[in-house]
């Protein structure tokens, strides 16, 4: 039996993504990380040779590694932070093939067969996870639930009826309904039965334990900064240690190596999560999402003393834009309005990447497609998508190509023209940051304007500097240019992080990389309290 340790009663310091402190000391960070601390794995400190190297230990990376290890391949997993502590450790943890309004769009843009293959690949991923839970005896709060995409605006009911019809035509057990378990009325909903929810970190920690038992290597705190391809692939870690492999899988959520320029087809977004204990008799008994109100998602999980934990997600926004504290307040107000008398005890944030044609990019990584593979662009549905990706990539590597490989292939060309409007919108937004960020004056008139616990981008010595003042009044100064492609970062006060609005890289207050695609820290800058700033 492989069981992750659960310690739901302790109260460690509140932390956001990858160890960033959150604002409120009385509210904990990610529930999944809080209740499953897990084992630690050593950093890579020596050169190794394996059949396949997997970069990233989220659900896509670990699922791929596990499938390959089961197939008899020698595998090394390299994770920049901790296993399942990044995006997967901050998800809402729904395992569903019902991905908001995907099937009617697929039916119209890529045909009924594409919609069918999408539904089949996602459904098989869910059932594959269910089989692994049984096979490995994983205690991960596995529950079967119906998934609902709902609308409250009567004017959009026809759109949701069309989605229900398309989902049913694709092979899902889908129907249009007007009654749900939510404590408020809806104009209509697409209901898909027999989906699932679980504790993703407990599931993945168990998978990691089984991987190690199968002889795989797992290395945490091992940031990969170099990739060479040829007859063999060579990865170089920040420490200088190298991994030689016959094939490499880049499963870092946003690709840290992107010679195919996939970043032009990916748009990063952040969403916030608040969670609160709820009496069991108030459980809405389902997994819910609506595109209205800047997205609202609702589900529950098993909690202490027979209660449920209400998990509410929303406030979709581009990293580095807007006031995150205000967004948290709006989301909390919404949760308390619709579920009265709750007291939030957790809050965290997650980050996703949307592909321009709404379908993930999973498969060979061009132009290095002979030995390099990628999994990205899951658009908020990375759990079923990550399990699907693991099966797809392992199949490609061992020579067992699944029937839906073409649907997800990053080299696909058929949808390029259909992607054009979304592609142009994304590029226009990035261009505004490349050009517009160089024009505005300093975000602070003087260093004295930067209060403890806050940060600002200022001009000093002819350069843009990102300056943070800690609670003790000390200044922490780094370059404001993201090391990925040079956009200006912005400060997220709620999570105490510098964020790049172009491609979603995130850095801590000392400039260290928290989340890629950047692989190098922000350069240190020498800014002193008494020095004047430039206009």
Q: How far is CA 384 from CA 9, 90, 112, 249, 381, in A?
A: 29, 15, 21, 18, 6
- Of 171 and 491, more confident: 171
Position 240 pLDDT exceeds 90: yes
E-strand ranges in 279-433 read 287-290, 296-302, 308-317, 346-355, 361-364, 372-376
d(CA 8, CA 304): 8
Residue 499 in any domain: the answer is yes
Half-sphere exposure of residue 194, counting CA atoms within 13 Å on the CB side? 10
Residue 201 in any domain: the answer is no
What is the per-residue pLDDT for 367? 66
**Which of 519, 520, 510, 508 is CA-nearest to residue 18?**
508
Q: What range defines the domain where residue 464 resides? A: 437-535
Please measure the distance between the N-terminal and C-terminal CA atoms of the chain and give it in whole angstroms.
63
Residue 442 in any domain: the answer is yes
- The pTM of this model reads 0.83
What are 6-31's pLDDT values in tens digits? Answer: 333 333 333 444 444 444 557 899 99
> What is the chain's length?
535
Contact (Cβ atoms closer than 8 angstroms) between residue 222 and residue 238: yes
Residue 244 in any domain: the answer is no
**CA torsion, points 302, 211, 195, 397, in degrees to nearest 10?**
160
Residue 529 — very low, low, confident or very high, per pLDDT cuts 50/70/90? low
Mean pLDDT, range 474-489, rounded to an integer:
83
Position 433 pLDDT exceeds 60: no
Name which of 104-108, 271-275, 369-373, 484-488 the model is least confident about: 484-488
How many domains is the chain built from?
1
Residue 527 belongs to a domain with what CATH number?
A: 2.102.10.10
Residue 456 in any domain: the answer is yes
Residue 264 in any domain: the answer is no
C-beta atoms surrounding 475 within 10 Å: 16
Q: Is 380 left (phi over 0), alpha (psi -120 to 50) or beta?
A: left
What is the per-residue pLDDT for 531? 61
Residue 510 in any domain: the answer is yes
Sheet holding 475-479, edge to edge: 454-460, 463-469, 475-479
Residue 494 in any domain: the answer is yes
């Amino acid at each position: 039996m492989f069981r992750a340790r659960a310690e739901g009663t302790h109260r460690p310091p509140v932390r956001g993504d990858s160890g960033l402190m959150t604002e409120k000391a009385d509210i904990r960070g990610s529930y999944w990380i809080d209740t499953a601390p897990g084992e630690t794995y050593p950093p890579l400190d020596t050169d190794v040779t394996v059949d396949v190297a997997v970069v990233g230990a989220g659900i896509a990376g670990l699922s791929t590694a596990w499938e390959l290890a089961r197939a008899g391949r020698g595998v090394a997993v390299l994770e920049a932070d901790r296993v399942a502590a990044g995006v997967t450790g901050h998800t809402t943890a729904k395992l569903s093939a019902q991905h908001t309004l995907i099937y009617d769009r697929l039916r119209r843009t890529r045909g009924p067969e594409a919609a069918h293959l999408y539904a089949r690949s996602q459904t098989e991923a869910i059932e594959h996870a269910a089989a692994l839970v049984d096979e490995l005896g994983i205690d991960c709060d596995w529950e079967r639930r119906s998934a609902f995409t709902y609308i409250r605006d009567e004017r959009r009911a026809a759109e949701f009826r069309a989605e229900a019809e398309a989902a049913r035509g694709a092979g899902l057990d889908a129907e249009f309904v007007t009654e749900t378990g939510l404590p408020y009325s809806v104009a209509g909903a697409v209901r898909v039965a027999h989906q699932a929810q679980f504790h993703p970190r407990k599931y993945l920690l168990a998978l990691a334990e089984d991987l190690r038992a199968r002889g795989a290597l797992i290395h945490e705190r091992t940031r990969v900064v170099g990739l060479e391809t040829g007859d063999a692939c060579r990865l170089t870690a920040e420490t200088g240690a190298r991994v030689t492999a016959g094939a490499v899988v880049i499963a870092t959520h946003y690709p840290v190596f992107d010679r195919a320029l996939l970043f032009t087809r990916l748009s990063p977004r952040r969403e916030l999560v608040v969670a609160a204990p709820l009496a069991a008799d108030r459980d809405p008994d389902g997994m819910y999402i609506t595109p209205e109100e800047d997205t609202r998602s609702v589900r529950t999980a098993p909690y202490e003393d027979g209660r449920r934990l209400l998990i509410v997600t929303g406030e979709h926004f581009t990293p580095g834009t807007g006031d995150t504290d205000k967004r948290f307040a709006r989301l909390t107000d919404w949760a308390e309005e619709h579920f009265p008398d709750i007291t939030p005890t957790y809050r965290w944030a997650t980050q996703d990447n949307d592909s321009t044609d709404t379908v993930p990019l999973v498969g060979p990584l061009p132009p290095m497609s002979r030995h390099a593979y990628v999994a990205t662009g899951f658009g908020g549905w990375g759990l079923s998508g990550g399990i699907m990706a693991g099966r797809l990539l392992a199949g490609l590597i061992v020579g067992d190509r699944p029937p839906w490989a073409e649907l997800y292939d990053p080299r696909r060309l058929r949808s390029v023209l259909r992607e054009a409007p979304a592609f142009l919108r994304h590029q226009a937004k990035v261009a505004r940051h490349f050009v517009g960020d160089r024009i505005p004056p300093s975000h602070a008139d003087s260093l004295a304007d930067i209060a403890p616990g806050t940060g600002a981008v200022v001009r000093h010595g002819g350069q843009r500097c990102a300056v943070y003042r800690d609670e003790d009044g000390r200044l922490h100064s780094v370059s404001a240019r993201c090391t990925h492609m040079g956009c200006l970062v912005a400060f997220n006060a709620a999570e105490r992080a510098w964020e790049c609005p172009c491609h979603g890289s995130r850095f801590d207050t000392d400039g260290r990389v928290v989340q890629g695609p950047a692989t190098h820290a922000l350069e240190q800058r020498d800014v002193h309290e008494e020095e004047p700033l430039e206009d």
